Amino acid sequence: MNPVTHAQLDWDDQGRPHSRVFDDVYFSDQSGLEETRYVFLQQNRLQERFAALPVGGRLVIGETGFGTGLNFLCAWQLFEQHAVAGARLHFVSVEKYPLSHADLQRALALWPELAPFAEPLLAQYVAIHQGFQRLILANGRVTLTLLIGDALEQLPQLDAQIDAWFLDGFAPAKNPDMWTAELFAELARLAAPGSTISTFTSTGWVRRLINGAGFKMKRTPGIGHKWEILRGEFLGWPAETPPPAVAKPWFARPPAARGERRALVIGGGLAGCASAASLAARGWQVSLLERHDGLAREASGNPQGVLYLKLSAHGTALSQLIVSGFGHTRRLLEQLQRGVDWDGCGVLQLAFNAKEAERQAQLAEAFDPQLLLLLDQQQAQVRAGVALEHGGLYFPEGGWVHPPALCQWQAQQPGIDVLPHHDVLELRKADGQWQAWDGERLLASAPVVVLAGAAEIKRFAPSAGLPLKRIRGQITALAQTPASQALSTVVCAEGYVAPARLGEHTLGASFDFNSLDLTPSAADHAGNLALLEEISPDLRQRLHADALDPEQLQGRAAFRCTSPDYLPIVGPLADPALFNEAYSVLGKDARQVPDTPCPWLDGLYVNSGHGSRGLITAPLSGELLAAWLDNEPLPLPRSVAQDCHPNRFAVRALIRGKA
């Protein structure tokens, strides 16, 4: 894995950016705005297509080369001018060298008329790291999915249907990687029927290669000093080329929901609130059912949780999910109140033994220094404001979150009806509707249900077989002292401690695989104090921990809910018995791919298994779920979405002969 590098820019005498790596301009010298509008918006007929979108309709634009985001902002402006309320724009763009925030701001300042769009983009342009990064704009009316990395690495992982392509690499002679047959085959694979395409170049070999991928390109008069440009449409995958691989039926998209856009979400923690928010942003009417008297009363109810990134240098599915999920959560938090709801004070993971130090050194090689950097002991102490015995890995954009605040904020989005004191005991299906029953009482019904009740989802027959485990955890609340105010970042070793929120530090957390008792215990408080000693004896002293009696300490306990592979479980559910019947052949030959469609339980979805990192994985999982439901571009690489798919366990069991 190569860490992301920011664009290296020079600025000309008129303040326009120029790429040092490619020795080329980001937009036309004459009028970037006019060229963008002519080459990309007009040639893809976007004005009329936006105007024709019905309420609930959407258009998906794909782009090679996000650069300064000028094309995106112009498309958004046009969408705003012509699309009805209730229509949506989804823009997916790949970028190998993202601009730094400062450079993006400087470049976009060139276009004052785009300021109403540039400002919200800049406000969300944080934590843009490698892989898929989703930005939610205009309250969900506009979604931007940035694929940070080389186009030829990123696009093959995209699962989307693109209605209009903008080809905007640097000039073919200077940036040949962006104009290859391989890349055009990806554009064809991703093209929706009737997809359109345009580019500023009219170079003959480029036109021939794009045509060869299944598009029909036409030369058309250019603009400014471009004599001719190209526009075209997708005719279909060329007969002479082997067709692209399709998803295995158990990971294929279920039929998109039709008819009434009403959903029940069962469970009012981070996973349920995120699912509700992602659906509501797409125009769904959501009833959010929670058995307690309010939201975030179980695992999501701790006063402070940490944005803790446990990464791998080897680009595992979990690691990719964490980088994408962290970015997404971090951007959502920009809408909440700093200091009370969350704080971006940074997170320091101490290198508390040689193995951890080695792991951290590998991570520092694999990720960009805006995400994480190694600090020696001296530097770490300066960051933390307290004495430390080790250096470590510092995540400057990390911090702590008050999870109930994130839940409340998500559940307040228009279209969500929160129903406390609704304990769903049974699900039934009648007349195309899922019904939530509490004994003899029908609580609510809708064509779609999302099960977001952590390990409690095992009480429902269709999800009873999912391998979810409860792990009890307890945090300890420690009163801030004058001396502990010096703590200026979250510090983690095996446990974690955060700078105080409203006068209290959260110290966590115990792990207990056996206990089902949620009464806070003195033994776990004592265990947490031992974790504090490992983090910083100095901080322990500053908190007068020696004088604290574990019997008197305050805290709370809850269950984490984990899956055996530590990935969450997010997506559509199939009928377990019919599934085993349909794919029983996997027990004899794991390479078989029967063409039997998956026996989906229409409208039944799950979002669970967020383990110890729900703050990072649950919000993006809400987006993933909505993308499965609404047949939208997935916010994660296809392979990662499959690794989170509920069907993975049934497939593995069949292959091992254990179904």
Ligand X SMILES: C[S@@+](CC[C@H](N)C(=O)[O-])C[C@H]1O[C@@H](n2cnc3c(N)ncnc32)[C@H](O)[C@@H]1O
- Interacting residue ranges for ligand X, rule: CB under 6 A: 7, 26-27, 65-71, 94-97, 150-151, 168-170, 175, 177-178
| Token pair for 559 | 């269950």
Find the shortest distance in angstroms from Cβ 312 to ligand X: 24
Q: How many CB atoms lie within 10 A of CB 411?
A: 24
How far is the C-alpha of 240 from the C-alpha of 357, rounded, in Å?
Answer: 53
Task: Choose the one of ligand FAD, ligand X, none that binds residue 59, judging by a C-beta under 5 to 8 angstroms depending on kind.
Answer: none
Residue 232 interacts with which of ligand X, ligand FAD, none, CB < 5 to 8 Å by class? none
Does residue 454 touch ligand FAD according to CB under 6 A?
Answer: yes
**Chosen from ligand X, ligand FAD, none, partner binding at 508 (C-beta under 5 to 8 Å by type):** ligand FAD
Tell me: does residue 520 bind ligand FAD (CB under 6 A).
no
Q: Which of 558, 625, 634, 651 binds ligand FAD (CB under 6 A)?
A: 558
Cβ atoms within 10 Å, residue 592: 11
- Please tell me whether residue 305 binds ligand FAD under the rule CB under 6 A: yes
- H or E segment and range at residue 559: strand 554-562
Q: Which of the listed partners (ligand X, ligand FAD, none) does 423 bind, with a CB threshold of 5 to 8 Å by partner kind?
A: ligand FAD
Contact of residue 305 among ligand FAD, ligand X, none (CB under 5-8 Å per partner type):
ligand FAD
Give residues 150-189 in contact with ligand FAD (rule: CB under 6 A). none
Our CB check for ligand X shows the closer of 148 and 654 to be 148
Judged by beta carbon distances under 5 to 8 A according to partner kind, the member of ligand FAD, ligand X, none in contact with residue 159 is none
Q: How far apart are CA 89 and CA 140, in angstroms?
A: 9
Nearer to ligand FAD, 266 or 634 (CB): 266
**Complete DSSP assignment for 219-242:** EEE--TT--EEEEEEE--S-TTSP
From the list 422, 404, 424, the residue with the least C-alpha distance to 412 is: 404
Which of ligand FAD, ligand X, none interacts with 292 (beta carbon under 5 to 8 A by kind)? ligand FAD
Closest to ligand X by CB, 31 vs 412, is 31
The residue range among 165-173, 386-394, 606-614, 651-659 that interacts with ligand FAD, by the rule CB under 6 A, is 606-614
| Residue showing tokens 């029983």 | 584
Q: Does 644 bind ligand FAD (CB under 6 A)?
A: no
To ligand FAD, the closest distance from the beta carbon of 308 in angstroms equals 5
Q: Which position has the token pair 């249900």?
A: 449
User: What residues numbered 460-479 form the site for ligand FAD, per CB under 6 A?
Assistant: 473-475
* Minimum distance of ligand FAD from residue 134's CB (angstroms): 18
In the set 77, 130, 195, 302, which binds ligand FAD (CB under 6 A)?
Answer: 302
- Shortest Cβ distance from residue 463 to ligand FAD (Å)? 11
Q: How far is the CB of 2 from ligand X (least distance, A)?
A: 12
CA 287 to chain centre: 23
Closest by CA position to 94, among listed 174, 43, 167, 45: 167
SS (H, E, C) 583-652: CHHHHCCCCCCCCCCCCEEEEEEEEECCCCCHHHHHHHHHHHHHHHHHCCCCCCCHHHHHHCCCHHHHHH
Helix (H) or strand (E) holding 195: strand 191-199
Q: Decide which of ligand FAD, ligand X, none touches 26; Cβ closer than 5 to 8 Å per partner kind.
A: ligand X
Q: How far is the CB of 291 from ligand FAD (least distance, A)?
A: 4
Which of the choices ligand X, ligand FAD, none does residue 647 contact, using the CB cut-off of 5 to 8 A by kind? Answer: none
Q: Which residues contact 358 (CB under 8 A, 6 or more apart)?
A: none
341 is a site residue for ligand FAD (CB under 6 A): no
Which of residues 94 and 443 has its CB atom nearest to ligand FAD in the complex?
443
Nearer to ligand X, 34 or 533 (CB): 34
Taking CB under 6 A as the rule, which mask of x and - marks residues 405-444 in contact with ligand FAD? Answer: -----------------xxx--------------------
Minimum CB–partner distance for residue 148 and ligand X (Å):
9
User: Token pair for residue 637?
Assistant: 């690489």
Strand order in the sheet with 17-19: 9-11, 17-19, 24-25
Q: Answer whether 477's CB lies under 8 Å from 550's CB.
A: no
Q: Dihedral sign, CA of 46, 47, 51, 52?
A: negative
Q: Under DSSP, is residue 17 helix (H, G, I), strand (E, B) or coil? A: strand
From candidates 560, 643, 647, 653, binder to ligand FAD by CB under 6 A: 560
342-343, strands of its sheet edge to edge: 305-306, 400-401, 342-343
Give least dist CB 59 to ligand X, A: 18
- Based on the shown chain and the rule CB under 6 A, indicate whether residue 267 belongs to the binding site for ligand FAD: yes
Query: What string marks each residue from 24 to 43 as x (binds ligand FAD by CB under 6 A) or -?
Result: --------------------
Cα-Cα-Cα-Cα dihedral sign, residues 254, 258, 260, 261: positive
343 binds, among ligand FAD, ligand X, none (CB under 5 to 8 A by kind): none
Query: Taking a C-beta distance cutoff of 8 angstroms, is the pair 501, 400 a contact?
Result: yes
Q: How far apart are CA 446 and CA 433, in angstroms?
A: 5
| Tokens read off for 627 | 């993308």
Burial class of residue 281, CB neighbours in 10 A (0-12, 13-18, 19+): buried
Q: Which does 454 bind (CB under 5 to 8 A by kind): ligand FAD, ligand X, none?
A: ligand FAD
* Of 175 and 275, CB closest to ligand X: 175
* 3-state SS class at 27: coil
Which one of ligand X, ligand FAD, none is in contact with 65 (Cβ closer than 5 to 8 A by kind)? ligand X
* The only residue of 282, 402, 610, 648 in contact with ligand FAD, by rule CB under 6 A: 610
Binding test (CB under 6 A) with ligand FAD, winner from 134, 291, 390, 402 = 291
Q: Say which entry of ligand FAD, ligand X, none residue 540 contacts (CB below 5 to 8 A, set by partner kind).
A: none
Q: Which of 101, 292, 310, 638 touches ligand FAD (CB under 6 A)?
A: 292
DSSP string for 38-88:
IIIIITTTHHHHHHHPPTT-EEEEEEE--TTSHHHHHHHHHHHHHSPTT-E
81-110 binders of ligand FAD (CB under 6 A): none
Q: What are phi and psi of 62, to 5 degrees?
A: -115, 145
Residue 323 makes contact with ligand FAD by CB under 6 A? no
| Residues in contact with ligand FAD, shown as a per-residue x/- string from 616 to 635 under the rule CB under 6 A | x-x-----------------
- Phi/psi region, residue 127 (left: phi>0; alpha: psi -120 to 50; beta: rest), is left
Q: Which residues are CB-contacts of 16 (< 8 A; sequence separation ≥ 6)?
A: 25, 26, 27, 29, 32, 107, 110
**Using rule CB under 6 A, residue 299 touches ligand FAD:** yes
- Which of 149, 508, 520, 619: binder of ligand FAD (CB under 6 A)? 508
- Name the site residues for ligand FAD (rule: CB under 6 A): 266-272, 289-292, 297-300, 302, 305-306, 308, 403, 422-424, 452-454, 456, 473-475, 508-509, 558, 560-561, 608, 610-616, 618
